[in-house]
Amino acid sequence: MSVKRVVRETPIEVAGFRFGAAACGIKASRRADCGLIVADEPVTAAAVFTRNRFAAAPVVLGRERVRSGRLQALFINSGNANACTGRQGLVDARRTCRVVGGHLGLSPDLVAPSSTGVIGVPLPMARLERGAAAAVKNASSRGIWRFARAIRTTDAFSKLSAETVRIGGRSITVVGVAKGAGMIAPDMATLLVTILTDAAVTAAQARWLAREVAGGSFNELSVDGDSSTNDSLYVLASGHAGNAIARDRGSLEALRRAAVGVGDSLARMVALDGEGATKAVSIEVSGAASTSAARQVAETVSRSLLVKTAFHGADPNWGRIACAVGYSGVAFEPTAVSISIDDVTVFRRGAGLSGVAARARRRMKREEFSVRIKIGSGPGRARMITSDLSPAYVRFNSAYTS
């Protein structure tokens, strides 16, 4: 599957939702830095969050808020993570929900907060409150692109993906919006993502969808191996399509495929946007003794700095890939291993193949390509999406807070 990146800001709407954005001065650039999603009435909600032990205050509060399975608003600020800010961070997260709820005429319990940006800096609440008021005021059904721009931090472009599916004779819309470029690794969603749909689902089904989207896309993504303190993936379902998915397993599966497809597209956008990245690479492992063994190999290769720099230079250096497979900790017979760059096999039966480097290099010069690794004849398969590593990543992250 290739990236379905929306280049032009074509109108995208999801029945039952409005979107607002504002610049409140958290970002030094003075660009929009807070975004709002608000539903016409309480909607079915679920979420998956980071497993980082230093979970940010909005993650802690978000976990509380989604337990009921109902939300009506999600407020995101960018430029400040509100992470590692002690007790005050949670106080500020709760205050944010009260302010947003007050402007919308909602109970704060129906508002979830989310934050992204620099760790360890208290939220500038006076500025944030002004931004919340402005975002509420300009919220509209066609404002999703403004929202997408407002939640960006180091992102080079806004990330949206949309799918429609026919269920029970009705057209169902699934839209995903994400931010993320660096500090991206598995262990839930690895960035901030919201999946919106006008489908009708139960709270249990929404939780299942959140897990499926995370597991089928974002947990197969690694840019730099760092899992953030703020990772959050929300699923919000308005039910405005008037379908009856809750009573039809086949329809729910169709919705799952659409949602995972949207998530996969967003994950690939994140890989392409990996703070200086120029390529999105799919590491596909097969023939392992188990799925977990295949996953271990794929993750090891996706994290290798030597492999990622070879990707950047379009260097078909299969030795670096084979080396990473070898130290992955998975048992295999070396003579059973083969490595291919897309459809070009570069390594087989324990040795490299001659006369294929030029063809493999041409594949690696593409914006997207695959590395296919077969390590035996077992049933285990796994995939990871990663990016190349460029000098721009080092330059940017060496001065992120200065």
Pick the closest to residue 17 from 159, 273, 196 (CA basis). Answer: 196
Look at the block and give the residue holding tokens 């929300």. 234
CA angle 336, 318, 276 (to 5 degrees): 135
Pick the closest to residue 237 from 203, 191, 208 (CA basis). Answer: 203
Point out which residues pair with 261 in neighbouring strands.
none
Point out which residues pair with 79 in neighbouring strands.
117
Rounded Cα gap, residues 244 and 228, in angstroms: 37
Catalytic residue among 44, 116, 153, 190: 190
Q: What is the DSSP letter of 81?
A: -
Pick the closest to residue 243 from 195, 196, 199 (CA basis). Answer: 199
Structure tokens at 281: 């690479």
Rounded Cα gap, residues 58 and 188, in angstroms: 16
Distances in Å between the Cα of 289 and the Cα atoms of 286, 302, 328, 333, 350 are 9, 20, 14, 11, 19
Rounded Cα gap, residues 134 and 146, in angstroms: 13
CB 269 within 8 A of CB 159: yes
Pick the closest to residue 141 from 274, 304, 18 (CA basis). Answer: 18
Tell me, yes or no, if 190 is annotated catalytic. Answer: yes
Look at the block and give the residue holding tokens 């398969």. 381
Distances in Å between the Cα of 230 and the Cα atoms of 12, 38, 48, 225, 314 are 26, 21, 11, 15, 33
Buried b (16+ CB within 10 A) or exposed e, 355-386: ebbebbeebbeeebbbbbbbbbebebbbbbbb
Q: State CA 252 to chain mean position distance.
A: 22
Q: State CA 62 to chain mean position distance.
A: 17
Supply the residues annotated as catalytic: 190
